[in-house]
Amino acid sequence: MHFKQTAPVLGSLALASLVAAAPMEKRGSISYGDRTDHIKAYQDSQPAASSGYPAASSSTGSWGYGSSSAASNGYYAPTSTSASWAPSSTSSASWSSGSAGANLGDNPFKFPLANGFPNVQNPSSALTQIEDAAHGTLPNGAPPPSINPDDLLSQRLIAFNELWEVAFFTELLANVTNNVAGYQFQDQNQRQSVITALTAIQAQEELHALNANGVLNHFNAGPIQPCTYVAPVSDFPSAIALAAKFTDVVLGTLGDVIVKLGLNGDAKLARGVVGVVGQEGEQNGYYRELLGEIPSAAPFLTASTREFAFSALNQDFVVAGSCPNINTINLPIFGVLNLETPTVAAQDQQLTFSFDAAGQYSKWTSWQGLNLVYINQQNTPVAIPISGAQVSGSQVTFSANFPFTENLMFGLTIAVVTNGAGPFADVDAVAAATLFGPALIEVQ
Ligand SMILES: *[C@@H]1O[C@H](CO)[C@@H](O)[C@H](O)[C@H]1NC(C)=O
């Protein structure tokens, strides 16, 4: 929905220079073996490597950026074994919504990066290179002497999320740098400024992840190890729209983390988390600008919870079963809630959702008593009783009003299905009653 919507918008706005997909190989349809044709096409299309980044070279393997000179750019070292992953029909699509679906046939992204990330010592020359690229350093103050176990859980979730973000931005930067089909620019100045921005962002995300895992290590509780990931996009505008969406979820979730730090007596850790909230907000303003949107979506961020973020990451990006120590993250993964409506405009409208009431959820084919709950900005959640649902096998499909006008639901709206109508005082109360979700709605 959202991503289909962005293409025409972008055509007339900031990304007018993005050319149509060139007849190059798509990453998902090839194996990581012989890249000669791809490299030749790349070289033919590139009279000059304006970026100063290592161009694909026939002397390196796979993607052509496994050379040591690429290490400081954080380019990952693809492995030839990754193609054995079989797409799973149970994966879902709340980031890209409904039938748009994840691009499940693609080769998953695998760590480590060529610089060893996430295994980077402090201090080390690898860390220094990341810090140079990130325009700054890891926090160097001493952590507090103790931490509440619940806040360790938050740090685990943050590390889990930041590892995904590193994977995403590493792959995105590589796609742009290597002029992958769908990631090409006519305007070389714009291409260069995107590369400059993404280079810093990719390294900054590495530091966010290393910082969270550093806190865990300090308290003998880490680190969170990376999974393999699939980004459900294959063109630049969709990738940027996806980045804006998952960053919105992260921003709201870090609010949840900060509240818990206060409640658990760990407020001294809050300043560092706020330092990431604002930082990711700066990133998001840039993504929105690229998309032709105003930089700040709404007056207040949309609240989220750890549970919603963990569910969305696992439902949409993480290859199931690929995470070595996900079992140490004691958060639920809810059932998938699909948004079936392809585009959501800034107006009142009926939205269609579906969920699969199979397995552990089988009793919910009788959907009576379930509610759809919307969370937007810092407002009290809106609960709407589900009515008139259609059931086909285990698939439950229903429509609900999206009360845009009354609530000015700009930016991110998190939609979930709860058992019970509330009233829900806040997002925590919603998460405690959630069965399916989140479906993520963005109104520009
Ligand atoms: C990079 O491009 C490949 C090939 O189109 C695609 O499968 C992958 O999802 C892209 N990654 C990102 C982050 O855009």
DSSP letter at 47 equals: S
Domain check: are 133 and 244 in the same one?
Answer: yes
CA dist 57 and 64 (Å) reads 5
What CATH number should be reported for the domain holding residue 343? 2.60.40.10
Which tokens is 278 given? Answer: 């604002």
354 pairs with which residues across the strands?
Answer: 338, 397
pLDDT value at 195 more than 90: yes
Our CA angle for 129, 131, 134, nearest 5°, is 115
pLDDT digits (tens, 9 = 90+) for 2-41: 333 333 334 333 443 443 333 332 333 222 223 233 333 3
The number of the ligand 1 atom at minimal distance from the alpha carbon of 181 is: 5
Burial class of 262 by CB neighbour count within 10 A (0 to 12, 13 to 18, 19+): exposed
Give first-to-last CA distance, the chain, whole Å: 13
By most ligand atoms within 8 Å of CB, the mutation choice from 205, 234, 316 for ligand 1 is 234
CB 391 within 8 A of CB 370: no
Residue 226 lies in a domain: yes
Of residues 103, 99, 197, 120, the one with CA closest to residue 163: 120
Residue 1 lies in a domain: no
- Report CA(172)–ligand 1 centroid distance (Å): 7
Domain check: are 324 and 341 in the same one?
Answer: no
Domain check: are 50 and 131 in the same one?
Answer: yes
Whether ligand 1 lies within 6 angstroms of the CB of 235 is answered as no
pLDDT value at 104 more than 60: no
Range name among 70-84, 265-279, 300-314, 418-432 with the lowest pLDDT average:
70-84
Per-residue confidence (pLDDT) for residue 444, from 0 to 100:
83
Tally of CB atoms within 10 A around 437: 30
For 315, residues 6+ apart whose C-beta sits below 8 A from its C-beta are 91, 92, 93, 94, 333, 336
Per-residue confidence (pLDDT) for residue 106, from 0 to 100:
63
Residue 2 lies in a domain: no
Q: How many domains does the chain have?
A: 2
pLDDT digits (tens, 9 = 90+) for 111-159: 999 999 999 999 999 999 999 999 999 999 988 999 999 999 999 999 9
Residue 3 lies in a domain: no
Boundaries of domain holding 309: 9-328
CA dist 188 and 286 (Å) reads 18
Domain check: are 218 and 151 in the same one?
Answer: yes
Nearest CA to ligand 1 atom 6: 234
pLDDT value at 432 more than 80: yes
Whether ligand 1 lies within 6 angstroms of the CB of 234 is answered as yes
Nearest CA to ligand 1 atom 5: 234
Per-residue confidence (pLDDT) for residue 100, from 0 to 100:
29
The C-alpha R_g of the chain, in whole angstroms, comes to 21
Domain check: are 315 and 365 in the same one?
Answer: no
Nearest CA to ligand 1 atom 12: 172
CB 261 within 8 A of CB 273: yes
Domain check: are 299 and 360 in the same one?
Answer: no
Query: Average of pLDDT values for 178-191?
Result: 98
Per-residue confidence (pLDDT) for residue 84, from 0 to 100:
25
Domain check: are 306 and 404 in the same one?
Answer: no
The H or E element that residue 305 is part of is none
pLDDT digits (tens, 9 = 90+) for 391-401: 999 999 999 99
* pLDDT, the chain, mean: 82
By most ligand atoms within 8 Å of CB, the mutation choice from 35, 42, 175 for ligand 1 is 175
CB 167 within 8 A of CB 202: no
Which tokens is 398 given? Answer: 């229903």
Query: Average of pLDDT values for 318-331?
Result: 98
Per-residue confidence (pLDDT) for residue 352, from 0 to 100:
98
In percent, the amount of the chain with pLDDT more than 90 equals: 75
Given the structure tokens 């949107």, which residue do they identify?
Answer: 293
Domain check: are 411 and 324 in the same one?
Answer: no
How far, rounded to the nearest angstrom, does the alpha carbon of residue 388 sit from its chain's CA centroid? 33
CB 95 within 8 A of CB 440: yes
pLDDT value at 101 more than 80: no
Domain check: are 324 and 345 in the same one?
Answer: no
CA dist 184 and 267 (Å) reads 45
Range name among 82-91, 95-104, 247-256 with the lowest pLDDT average:
82-91
Asked which of 304, 328, 352 is the last residue of a domain, the reply is: 328
Per-residue confidence (pLDDT) for residue 1, from 0 to 100:
32
Whether ligand 1 lies within 6 angstroms of the CB of 331 is answered as no
Domain check: are 71 and 140 in the same one?
Answer: yes
Of residues 433, 405, 409, the one with CA closest to residue 420: 433
